[in-house]
Structure 1
Amino acid sequence: MRCAQRLLEKFGSAWLEGVPREDSNADALEKMGSQMDNVQLGQIPLGIQEIPSIPEIRVFQTQEIPQENWMTPIHNYIRRGALPEDKLQARCLRYQATKYVEYDGVLYKRGFNQPLLRCVDLEEGNYILKEVHKGICGNHPGVVRLH
């Protein structure tokens, strides 16, 4: 009884229905729950449900296709050595890529005598700015201290 009460406390809501004692199946289940041996098990009819009682929910996994942004050419060059067809653009990309490093799939900008700076896209940048100005940071200390 105490075990059932502990289990009931874990549910948000539950209801119990009384089953008449004349029903031998309920009586056998009750006795089986209160005894250690399974003598009553042969008295309980076993039914196999061929069709699920609840409808099957289909779940389709999708792969998130990364959006092209300003970091894409740098990522492609660092990962695969991919360069644009135009020689001038390829030369600029090679020079620009020397300022970046990729770690665990995330692009960081190298700095002189400073920690690596995590590169973000437009959506992440907008979120960061909102947090700094209005969110958890509250009022920021000003343009002098905000780097």
Structure 2
Amino acid sequence: MVRTGGCYCQAIRYELEDDSAHDFSVCYCEGCKYASSSHSMNLRTDTDKIKVTKGTPKVFLDTKTLSGKPMKRKFCGDCGNSLWSEPSAAPGKAFVKVGTLDDKSGLKLLVEVFCSNALRPYEPMPKGTTPQLTFAAGSAPFEA
């Protein structure tokens, strides 16, 4: 099965050809929190299963990993969207950001890692104390 994906602005596109890639992990490490504000959902695969079909991802060499070994974080230089990471601690492996896949069907959560770093789940303020905005397709921009 070939899955396709890309960044938010579509400057980078890729194909993932890995029939076994259907279980994903949630990571709460500091690097993932910085990249996404909370956590990252990652689909583990082999680096050679990812084929870039459009554009060229930029690479940030993350040296602040818990393993102490650097991790290549691939992202779009235009929109800044994280695409996948390649940890030196797991040579030949990549962790594709689930949100960048065009079709997320058939995926299931396998494990959560670095749970002690997780942020407290967001809980909305009680109704009436702050404005609560609802946005839907075709709605006014700021409907309270």
TM range (shorter): under 0.3
Say which structure, 1 or 2, has more relative contact order (CA 8 Å, 6+ apart).
2
Higher helix share: 1
TM-score, normalization by structure 2: 0.19
Could you say which structure has the larger radius of gyration?
A: 1
TM-score, normalization by structure 1: 0.19
